[in-house]
């Protein structure tokens, strides 16, 4: 308990900047994918595959990094993640070419995976026990800030006459600062699994025997998937269902981009406010309330014939799903003893690969129900409602806190 009384302010600043950095590096993809297509003369699907490569890294490396935390600690893992991320963004900035950029994106994904797997449970260790979900939500606000300003960096780089790849020189500087920040502060003392026998007894294989961890992982998989899936398909939905180009003409592109941007802005505002909500309402109750309103907002966005209602509803969807990741993640971490936190974090971060899965599933279901040229988005979006329904159940069966 004495450890909990220590001040970890320098570490707090380091973790805050880490969330800001990996938010920017993760979500700049939407702005650079069109540049990849234009620069290297590849198809749209080939250029967008770069974003999927990033999420594939989560699926392949989250569990190994979770084990690394238990063996060598959060500090070592954060430093390694910062080094790998710096190498990745430096490669992207300095080595042109489609396949070189793909390799760099994958390396960035590995580094960001290490950072998130280590940082999320570290927030628990430097937080008061009752404030973990709230604090993780507030750190995710910084992730959202990074996500929001990243595309504007691309715009700024272009406005001063530099190539879009110079964005990654900016990220290289951010990553170097992050590396320095995480390398020097004092960290909380950690229980590490130092022997193979101990690791075997309380390691990933034994943990996976508990079906509850799979249920939590599925919650993260579906949440991240539906968060990304709705955002990716907003522009297509507005075009196919509301014929926005025919209605707005030259203003249609700006309107579609604004709709997507407002969705993320709603999520950012929701996380900022959600930090205070979770300080007053238990996470399980908040999940049930918020996901219900998210479903109502999505129904309004999908089924309303009034374009103004639609454009206002999508940001409300973002607002009401905003607390889901930190709440589900926090409940899962708190369901197991602290010595399991690294492995649990690795399993949960592996599930982030859902971000590469649900969006194409929504589109494919719509195409099956309609056609490739004219998808039935009302049917396709039922996939999103199914994801919301499962997330609602997390607020029912999630475990009580463990010591």
57 three-state secondary structure: helix
CB-based contacts of 114, cutoff 8 Å, min separation 6? 61, 65, 68, 77, 78, 80, 81, 84, 85
Which residues have a Cβ under 8 Å from the Cβ of 231 and sit 6 or more positions away? 260, 263, 264, 318
pLDDT at 349 over 60: yes
**CB 231, CB 264: distance < 8 Å:** yes
Write b or e for each residue in 95-127: b if 16 or more Cβ atoms lie within 10 A of its Cβ, otherwise e.
eeebeebbbbbbbbbbbbbbbbbbbbbbbbbbb
Closest CA to 11 of 182, 166, 148: 182
Lowest-confidence segment of 36-40, 81-85, 162-166, 171-175 by average pLDDT: 36-40
The residue written with tokens 């590849």 in the block is: 42
Going by pLDDT thresholds of 50, 70 and 90, the confidence category of residue 345 is confident
Q: In the predicted model, is pLDDT for residue 164 greater than 60?
A: yes
Res. 5: pLDDT tops 50: no
Angle (nearest 5°) at CA 121 between 117 and 124:
160
CB 19 within 8 A of CB 120: no
At how many degrees (to 10) do helices 44-72 and 341-350 cross? 170
Band of pLDDT at residue 100, cut at 50, 70 and 90: very high
What percent of the chain is helix, strand and coil (3-state, nearest 5)?
A: 85, 0, 15
Alpha-carbon span 394 to 315, nearest angstrom? 23
Q: What is the DSSP letter of 4?
A: G
The DSSP result for 180-247, as a single string, is HHHHSS---------SHHHHHHHSHHHHHTSHHHHHHHHHHHHHHHHHHHHHHHHHHHHHHHH-HHHH
* 210: Cβ contacts below 8 Å, ≥ 6 apart: none
> What's the pTM value of the predicted model, to 2 decimals?
0.72
Beta-carbon contacts of residue 60 (< 8 Å; ≥ 6 apart):
none
Higher-pLDDT residue of 328, 278 = 328
**pLDDT bucket at 99, cuts 50 / 70 / 90:** very high
Highest mean pLDDT among 20-29, 94-103, 247-256, 294-303: 294-303
Instruction: Please choose, from the candidates 113, 114, 141, 108, the residue with its C-alpha nearest in 3D space to the C-alpha of residue 19.
Output: 141
- Cα→Cα distances 261→191, 378, 400, Å: 42, 22, 37
Q: Using alpha carbons, list the distances in angstroms from residue 367 to 304, 371, 373.
A: 21, 4, 8
* pLDDT above 70 as % of the chain: 85
Q: Residue 94 gets which letter from DSSP?
A: H
Q: Are 150 and 31 in contact (CB under 8 A)?
A: yes
- Does position 274 have pLDDT exceeding 80, yes or no? yes
Tokens representing 213 are: 């961890």
Find how far residue 347's CA is from the centre of its chain.
15
Domains of the chain: 1-180 (1.20.1250.20), 200-403 (1.20.1250.20)
Q: For the chain, first and last CA: distance in Å?
A: 12
Half-sphere exposure of 72 (CA within 13 A, CB side): 12
Average pLDDT value over all residues in the chain: 82
pLDDT at 196: 45
How far are the Cα atoms of 48, 212, 397 from residue 218, in angstroms, in the given order?
25, 10, 13
**SS3 of residue 378 by DSSP:** helix
Q: For the segment 9-59, what is each residue's pLDDT rounded down to a tens digit? A: 788 888 889 999 988 888 776 667 667 777 888 764 566 677 678 878 877
Task: Name the band, by pLDDT with cuts 50, 70 and 90, for residue 195.
Answer: very low
CA distance 62 to 55: 11
Q: Flag the least confident range among 68-77, 136-145, 248-257.
A: 248-257
- Tell me the C-alpha distance between 271 and 309, whole Å: 23
Binned at pLDDT 50, 70 and 90, residue 225 comes out as confident
Side-chain half-sphere of 228: how many Cα atoms within 13 Å? 24
> 178 is written with which tokens?
């992050």
């Amino acid at each position: 308990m004495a450890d909990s009384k220590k001040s970890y302010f320098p570490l707090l600043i380091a973790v805050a900047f880490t969330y800001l950095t990996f938010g920017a590096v993760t979500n700049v993809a939407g702005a650079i994918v069109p540049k990849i297509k234009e620069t290297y003369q590849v198809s749209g699907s080939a250029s967008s595959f770069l974003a999927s490569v990033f999420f594939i890294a989560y699926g392949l490396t989250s569990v190994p990094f979770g084990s690394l935390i238990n063996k060598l600690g959060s500090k070592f893992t954060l430093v390694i993640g910062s080094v790998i991320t710096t190498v990745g963004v430096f490669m992207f900035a300095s080595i042109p070419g489609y396949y070189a950029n793909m390799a760099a994106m994958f390396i960035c994904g590995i580094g960001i995976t290490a950072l998130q797997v280590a940082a999320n449970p570290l927030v628990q260790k430097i937080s008061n026990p009752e404030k973990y979900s709230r604090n993780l939500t507030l750190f995710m606000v910084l992730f959202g800030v990074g996500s929001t300003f990243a595309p504007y960096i691309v715009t700024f780089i272009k406005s001063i006459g530099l190539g879009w790849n110079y964005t990654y020189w900016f990220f290289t500087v951010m990553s170097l600062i992050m590396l320095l920040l995480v390398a020097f502060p004092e960290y909380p003392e950690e229980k590490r699994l130092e022997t193979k026998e101990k690791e075997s007894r309380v390691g990933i294989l034994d943990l996976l025997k508990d079906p509850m961890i799979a249920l939590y992982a599925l919650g993260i998989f579906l949440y991240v998937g539906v968060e990304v899936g709705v955002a990716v398909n907003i522009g297509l939905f507005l075009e196919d269902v509301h014929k926005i180009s025919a209605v707005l003409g030259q203003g249609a592109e700006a309107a579609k981009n604004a709709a997507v941007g407002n969705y993320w802005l709603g999520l950012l505002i929701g996380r900022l406010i959600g930090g205070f909500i979770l300080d007053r309402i238990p996470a399980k109750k908040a999940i049930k309330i918020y996901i219900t309103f998210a479903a109502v907002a999505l129904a309004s966005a999908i089924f309303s014939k009034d374009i103004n209602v639609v454009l206002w509803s999508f940001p409300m969807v973002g607002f009401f799903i905003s607390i889901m990741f930190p709440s589900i993640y926090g409940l899962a971490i708190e369901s197991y003893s602290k010595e399991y936190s690294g492995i649990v974090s690795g399993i949960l971060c592996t599930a982030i690969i859902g971000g590469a899965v649900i969006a194409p599933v929504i589109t494919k279901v719509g195409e099956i129900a309609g056609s490739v040229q004219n998808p039935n988005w009302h049917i396709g979006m039922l996939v999103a409602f199914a994801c919301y329904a499962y997330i609602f159940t997390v607020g029912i069966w999630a475990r009580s806190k463990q010591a």
